[in-house]
Structure formats: C-alpha cells, structure tokens
A and B are shown apart, each in its own frame.
Chain A
Amino acid sequence: MSAHESISAAIRAANARGEPALVAYLTAGFPSRERFLEDLRQVAEGADVVEIGVPFSDPMADGVTIQRSSRVALSQGVSLGWILGELERMTPRPKAPLLLMSYLNPLLAFGAERLAAAAGRAGVAGFIVPDLPFDEGEPMREVFAPPGLALVRMVTPVTQPERLRRICADSQGFVYAVTMTGTTGKSVAVPKEVTQYLDAVRAMSPVPVCAGFGIRGREQLERLRGHVDGVVIGSALVELLEQGADPTAWLHSLRTAAR
C-alpha cells in the first residue's frame, strides 16, 4: 500500500466502525518544542490521521489561534528540517498516517526533491498546502507522485462545479472540504447549505471527503454526521494542547459523540 493509500485506508477503517474519521491538527513545536513528539504521540492515539503544521511567518488562511501557535513555534526555532528530523528519530511511529500541512514557501526553500526523500525517511504520507491551488500544483505533484506521497487538495463552498470535479479527481488521500469562506478557528454553524455542498463533493469524489475549518466540538460533529467521511479538528485541539489538557481523552470523547 502506498503512502497516500494508507491515508484513505485509515479513513475508511473508521467509517467501517460506523464513525467519521478524526483528522487531528497540531502545530509542530507548540506549545513547546521539547514536548512535540509526546504531544504528537498522544494526538495520534486519539486520531485516525494526523496533520502536523509547519509554522510559517505569514499564515494567511489561518485565524488567531494558528497564527499564535505558528509565531510561538517559529520563535522557538521550529523549522521544516527540524520537524522531519524529529519524526525520523521517533520510535515507535504512530499508527495513524502523518501529513504535513505547510504553506508553500517553506517547502520551496527546503527543495521539493530533497523534501520528497526526507518525507519518506520521516514516515510522512503526504502534504496539504493551503496556498497551492490546483492550477499551480503540478510541479509539486510531479515530485510527490513517484514515492506515492499524497497531495491533499482543498475545495470550498464557492468552488465552481467543473473545477470541483477536477480537484476531486486529482486529490489523494482525501479531499479537504473547507466548510466556509474564511480563516481557520471560527466556529462554523453548519447550515443546510453546507451539508448540501458536502453531499455534492462526496458524490463526485473517488477518495474520502473530510470537512475542515471551524469544527470545534460535538455539536458540529453531530450536524455533519452522514455528510462526510471525516472531520479535521485544528484550532480547538491547538487550544487544548496550549491549556495542557489530555488530547487523547478529548478526541475519544468526540468519537463517541460522532458515532
């Protein structure tokens, strides 16, 4: 099974248990650099897929929480190279597939081909790049495809139908369906239009569909049940880690709510 297939498989396995998959996000090195691998282990324990955020100086798609976590991580010297090194030395590796979520520039600075090789050694299954839209993605895709790394694509409620179809056909691992127009972290209401949009994405996507942006707890999970294959929990989990709470227990409690 290739790296990108391991992501879809993990999501489908959760679905087979009658649950939406939990895709959990943490910013690498936040709240503390020293605790990164331990935080990752605990998050991975409660999640089906883990997104590791690579901090960037200009996180334009993110709200206040991830802006703050990115700033703190950068001030502690966290870099893409450091993250890959930490993952490489992590034993045992988590069962949940790991994705890196990064803005494009840190990836370009690292070098795409060097990155594909390093990602393989670090056990990274793929990438989500919020400022790399479909039309600009080809060079990255060409580098990631041979080693089987996923490039997870995003769609939004304002994406036009024809473009939606092309993005879904191209996305690997899953399709990241952004729930709203806006930045990460604000609570989303999940009105009927959102569930209809998610149904439409799901109807045309050959890979699982995970909803993200603004999903903070049980209430939204209940509204989304039956309309998605998985949910991405980002800012709410970052805030929980910031408070020093137990991420595994919290993710488990969400899981029971979603069942």
Chain B
Amino acid sequence: MSSSTENAEALAGLIAGRFPDARGRFGPFGGRYVPETLIPALDRLEEGVREHLHAPSFQQELGAELSSWVGRPTALTFAGRLSARWGAKVWLKREDLAHTGAHKINNALGQALLARRLGARRIVAETGAGQHGVASAAACARLGLPCTVYMGAVDMERQAPNVGRMRLLGATVIPVTGGDATLRAAIDEALRDWVSDPLETYYLLGSAVGPHPYPYLVRELQAIIGREARAQIREKTGELPDAVIACVGGGSNSIGMFHAFVPDGGVEIIGVEAGGKGAALGDNAATISYGRPGVLHGTYSLLLQDAHGQVQETQSVSAGLDYSGVGPEHAFLAHIGRVRYESAGDQEALDAVRALCESEGILPALESAHALAGAKRWAERHPGGTVVVCLSGRGDKDMPTLQQTLLKGDQ
C-alpha cells in the first residue's frame, strides 16, 4: 500500500487534472491493452476528443441537446419520508428522470455527437442491463446513425423490455451466447466487431472502462451529474453534503457523480458494488472489494479473476452491475484512499427498492438500489447527516426480476 504522502500527492495530481496522464494512466491503472489493429482507431479517437470535446461549438451542441432532448438538469429531490425512516437527510440526484430512464444517455448522446464529427458510418455498442443499449439506440436515431448493440443472451432474458425498446428505436440487437453471456461477453463481441472495421465503425462504450481514452471520455460526459448535484445541494441547503454515494459496476454514474466532489475534502465519497449472494469468487460483482490487478477489455485495473488470471463470472440481481472489471479511475481512487468502496448484497438492494417505492413513490433501478442500501448503512452511522445519493436509473426495466423476487407470492 502506498504511504499517506504519496496518496496526498496523487490526489493533488488528480484534482489538478494530471490524470489520466499522457499514457492514459491513473497512477498504475489504465493504459491501452488492445490488439494492434485498434491502435489507429484509439489514436484517432484520442485526437478527436482533444479537438472537439471541450471546444465551444461541441459543448454548445451537446448542451442544447442535453437540455431540450434529455431534459437536463435533472432534479435533486429531498427524500423526506425516507430520511425520517433512515435517520439522516437523504437527497436523490434524479438521473432516473433523464430521457430513456438513466444516466447512460449523457454518455451515449455525447459520444454519438463525437462519432458524427469524426465521420463514423456506423455505431456499435454493448449493453448489460440494456440501459446503455437503449440510450445508444435513441441517440443514434436522433442523429441518424445506424446502431448495432451486442447484448448477452442471459441479459436479454432478464431485461426483455429493453430489448424491445432498442428494436423500436431502430437498433439491431445481436444476442451474445459466448462466454458468460452477460456484459463481459457483450464487450468482447463489440470489440471483435470494431476490430473488423476500425476505420468506419465507432465503438460507443457505455461505461468508464476500456482502453484510454474511454475512461476519461466517459467521465467527462458523465461529470455533469456531480456538477449539477453539487450546485443544487448548495443552493438548497447552503452547504456541501457530508457524503455522496453511488453504485459501481463498470463505474460510469459513480465517476460522474464523484468527479466534482473529489476536491471537497470534507465530503465522504462512497461507492457501492454488487455483493450478490456473498463473498466467494463468482458469487458477487464486487471488483474493488474482492479483485486483484489485471488486464481486461483493454485496461489495467482491478479484476475478479482466479489464480491463473482467468476472468471469473459474476453474480448480481442487477444486470448493470454484473461485470468482472471496474474503471481504472475507481481502482486509483480506491488505491489512494479518496473513495471508500463497499458492497451491498442482492437482498439489501431489494429491500432498498421496496423502501424507496413505499416512502417516496419512486421505483429505482436495481443498480441504483445498491447505492440506496449504502445510504441506509451510512445513515445508521451518521444520524442527522446529509447524504446525496445518485439515483442512476428507474426500475421499470427490472419488472421481470422484481416479479420473481419482491413480488413472488403476490396475486
């Protein structure tokens, strides 16, 4: 483990914008571990990001679409009855109110706009819970770009409503039966598609994972969540919150939520991973809690793997968190101790779904319910404190799973 001086220096570097560095690294994590065929495509993307992402004309175009089509800024809602129940002041950053029902649209729209500027002829994307697939399909329809989405066969079954939505939005959805038939296999297959046509295909990666510059690009596009939330909570309460909490699968809503708060030393930042059924390898998707460093999908980060370096299958009631890796910036934030990562199990997440439905009239996504479970624990430790939770998405897509869990035995 690194010393506290080194950690403080690393944190100062992160706040000063020195990460990712020129080699696409956050300290030891990140980089570009891809077949040589993809290097020119990544070089072009990196150049495109540098040229366009922060250019006024791009930001203006993105900002206008975020406002008029996505519906930003999303609300910050005080959860009064839930606060009374849990004993701390709970605020919800309502990404569930964004168009298509989750934070994924912030990234999908931004990257689709970038792809169009880079002259891409078609878009490929992967999806786990289906939210990124739906967001990509919607953004591509809006911009008139053909879209192909790879989705694990297991996920297609448990997220059936989203498959129909993608098809209605004009995307081609291709089932992936190889590997574990979930998000990991879908990324493998999307990468294979991209390798076959690296010059004209744009790979619209949905989380803060993958080779550089994706972790950076996705963070920049999702950072609007934390920027809005930080301004909103200060406007409503006059001060910063005591804690900020988000769920972590690959880690896009969480990195987006955390980024603006990283420099605020007084704000505790907590990421909640999917604890699944328990601590054993294969029973959860809690990569930071239980993983070791390794390379998957183009990046050096933490990874759920066996002693031989084989990537392990994961287990979670929530398809969107069901991923064996995690974004390299999260591995870095854990490494330097700025963010604390814990995990919440399936049952805790389901209990949180019920609590939010009953107390606030909001059905959260199973992914977001993990963040709520973390908030409940935090409230027990900090009665009267203020916490902002990223409610990353709505739970309508989870009805097939909820029918078999919370609603089992009803009717």
Q: In the complex, which residue of chain B has the Cβ closest to the Cβ of A106?
A: B309
Of B36, B196, B198, B303, the residue contacting A105 (CB under 8 A) is: B303
C-alpha spacing A107/B300, complex, angstroms: 13
Nearest CB on A from B324, distance (A): 9
Residues 106-130 of chain B: 1 if any A CB is under 8 Å from the residue's CB, otherwise 0?
A: 0000000000000000000000000
C-alpha spacing A132/B295, complex, angstroms: 10
Number of A-B contacts (CB under 8 A): 112
C-alpha spacing A56/B296, complex, angstroms: 11
In the assembled complex, which residues on chain A have CB atoms less than 8 Å from the CB atom of B179?
57-58
The answer to whether B178 and A67 touch across the interface, beta carbons within 8 angstroms, is: yes
The answer to whether B33 and A104 touch across the interface, beta carbons within 8 angstroms, is: yes
On chain B, the number of residues with a Cβ less than 8 Å from chain A's Cβ atoms is 36
Nearest CB on B from A82, distance (A): 9
Chain B, 216-251, CB within 8 A of any chain A CB: none
Nearest CB on B from A245, distance (A): 25
The answer to whether B295 and A181 touch across the interface, beta carbons within 8 angstroms, is: no
The answer to whether B195 and A182 touch across the interface, beta carbons within 8 angstroms, is: yes
Of B37, B191, B197, B308, the residue contacting A80 (CB under 8 A) is: B308
Q: Does B199 contact A (CB under 8 A)?
A: yes
The answer to whether A131 and B192 touch across the interface, beta carbons within 8 angstroms, is: no
Known contacts A60-B188, A74-B310, A79-B308; decide if A109 and B37 are in contact (CB<8 Å): no
Known contacts A105-B303, A182-B195; decide if A57 and B31 are in contact (CB<8 Å): no
Q: In the complex, which residue of chain A has the Cβ closest to the Cβ of B293?
A: A108
Q: Does B54 contact A (CB under 8 A)?
A: no
Q: Does B32 contact A (CB under 8 A)?
A: yes
The answer to whether A133 and B308 touch across the interface, beta carbons within 8 angstroms, is: no
On chain A, the number of residues with a Cβ less than 8 Å from chain B's Cβ atoms is 41
In the assembled complex, which residues on chain B have CB atoms less than 8 Å from the CB atom of A67?
178
Q: Does B343 contact A (CB under 8 A)?
A: no
C-alpha spacing A107/B309, complex, angstroms: 8
Looking at A12-20, A157-165, A189-197, A221-229, the stretch in contact with chain B turns out to be A157-165
Chain B, 165-186, CB within 8 A of any chain A CB: 178-179, 184
Q: Does B39 contact A (CB under 8 A)?
A: yes
- 20 other A-B residue contacts (CB within 8 Å) besides A57-B179, A109-B308: A56-B309, A57-B310, A57-B312, A58-B297, A59-B188, A60-B195, A61-B192, A67-B178, A105-B305, A105-B309, A108-B295, A108-B309, A131-B33, A131-B295, A132-B33, A133-B35, A134-B39, A153-B36, A156-B36, A158-B198
B-side residues, CB < 8 A to A, are 23, 31-37, 39-41, 178-179, 184, 188, 191-192, 195-199, 293-298, 303, 305, 307-312
